[in-house]
Structure 1
Amino acid sequence: MKREQLPLYVVALAVLIVGLAFAGVPPGTLIVLPLVLACPLMMFFMMRGVQDHDDHKHQHGAP
């Protein structure tokens, strides 16, 4: 994820939360859902960063 795109993701997340609140989703669910999704999302972004680092290393001829 590029830092230039971060504000767009924050706005999208805010719109999603407000939309779910207006749709009648209980507040407890709005609190628990991000906590449940935090682990897989962090793993996804961490592994993506490792892959980008490995690609960069191989481009420069390092083993």
Structure 2
Amino acid sequence: MTSEVNQQELLIKLIEQNNKLIEQNNLIVQINAEQAAQLSEVLSMFEEEEPKSSSASLDGG
């Protein structure tokens, strides 16, 4: 009986750890989405400026 109780306690701890990992992963996904949106905004700003500076080539020629 003690072995069965220990297995149940271990299972509960593993489930709790798994739930914490899922929460952390969800937070990482949210942060990643926010960063992607910010990066997209920055890239669009560069694209808007591109026609103004397109006359100057990168190699100076």
- Output the TM-score relative to the length of structure 2: 0.49
> Comparing both chains, which one has the higher relative contact order based on Cα–Cα distances under 8 Å and sequence gaps of 6 or more?
1
Q: What TM-score results when the alignment is normalised by the length of structure 1?
A: 0.47
